[in-house]
Structure 1
């Protein structure tokens, strides 16, 4: 337990030191570019918050393209400030292009944060729900088939065999399964097997066995 806490403390201390150094470098670049007072301190906060927001979007698995885009932009801003303070840039004579980039950063960060907060995948309500117990796979199969195939008569109906007492099968589901079996027989010329029936109906194996028993 103590070894685990020691590792966590070491990681935490390292993270705090790295964050403080990066924060100071961003402040120095902003201050050298003409952003005085509180504005110079606001720049590193803005960069770090955009970096965290983009990383959270990537972890959530939603809108990964936008997450990667703004993550790389924030990372470039942070990394560029750290490299610039390594003696490669004269902070007493900051070039005009860097002043322009620093001055335009608030608008870029505001746009990125707004897009990351409000962008989300299409909701489930935008897709049509199956009707009468049909799965989306069944509807897709029926829409892609000619009317002659869908309306062709199936095999002769047989008297249903009672389902096992441990599985209750609704009558509407049995009737729908009979239609699925008839369509499969018309399309393939063979009786539908239990695994295919289970896949078409989207039911668990025990219920599929009970339904198949009523179709034989």
Structure 2
């Protein structure tokens, strides 16, 4: 728990407030307000002064707040000056009695106006009006689906009546015609065929020739035709 350090400004405010409170009490008592009524006058003056000052701080400079701030300040300052010997408090004048007696109604009017009058900032920024647009009624699911479906879309029955397209026959690709067989390849194929005949006693077939030479089937057929 931290230590409470005295603040010079706070001490000065407490002293000044106590003196002003006492002067207002003495002035009200001298004007014929005895008992608890004499103590209520300084509270009323100080509360009106604080309310007007808070309105000036929060709502900007308005003529209403300045007016009641000046009224409360004059009442507080006048009480302090009046108790300094400028008035005979044992025989107070009639205007002082009149002012003290009429102060409660004046303070009540000022407090009510300060509490229930909109500030300049509130008047310049009004609250947005509530949205009173009725919400759209919910649409049933079948109706919404029918509305979302395009009008030119064919139905399932119409789609079923459309005959299926028959597949077109694709003509077979003609076998490429082999070009002229080089003479060196023919000579090599003949040697391979002679070796096969000498080893097996049978003439070489086209598949074996293609395998031994490592050539495509069409070229193997062309070489076999020249070896026949």
TM-score, with structure 2 as normaliser? 0.51
Q: 1:126 to 1:69 in 2, by over 3 A?
A: farther
User: CA offsets, 1:10-63, max 9 Å, x none?
Assistant: 111111000000000000000000000000000000000000000000001246
Aligned-residue offset at 1:125: 3.6
What residue number does 1:77 align with?
75
What residue number does 2:8 align with?
10
Aligned-residue offset at 1:124: 1.1
Cα root mean square deviation, aligned: 2.3
- In the alignment, is the contact (CA less than 8 A) between 1:51 and 1:74 conserved in 2? yes
User: CA offsets, 1:137-182, max 9 Å, x none?
Assistant: xxxxxxxxxxxxxxxxxxxxxxxxxxxxxxxxxxxxxxxxxxxxxx
- Pairing partner for 1:54 from 41, 48, 52: 52
Q: Which runs of 5+ in 1 are unaligned?
A: 130-216
- In the alignment, is the contact (CA less than 8 A) between 1:63 and 1:120 conserved in 2? no
1:19 aligns with 2:31: no
Superposed counterparts of 1:137-152, under 5 Å:
none
CA distance in 1 between partners of 2:68 and 2:128 (Å) = 27
Q: How many residues align?
A: 125
Larger Rg: 2
CA distance in 1 between partners of 2:88 and 2:82 (Å) = 8
- Pairing partner for 2:112 from 114, 118, 121: 114
Superposed counterparts of 1:1-216, under 5 Å:
9-62=7-60, 64-121=62-119, 122=123, 124-125=126-127
CA distance in 2 between partners of 1:64 and 1:111 (Å) = 17
TM-score, with structure 1 as normaliser? 0.54
Moved over 6 A (4+): none
CA distance in 1 between partners of 2:43 and 2:127 (Å) = 37
CA distance in 1 between partners of 2:23 and 2:128 (Å) = 47
- In the alignment, is the contact (CA less than 8 A) between 1:62 and 1:120 conserved in 2? no
- In the alignment, is the contact (CA less than 8 A) between 1:54 and 1:116 conserved in 2? yes
Aligned-residue offset at 1:126: 7.5
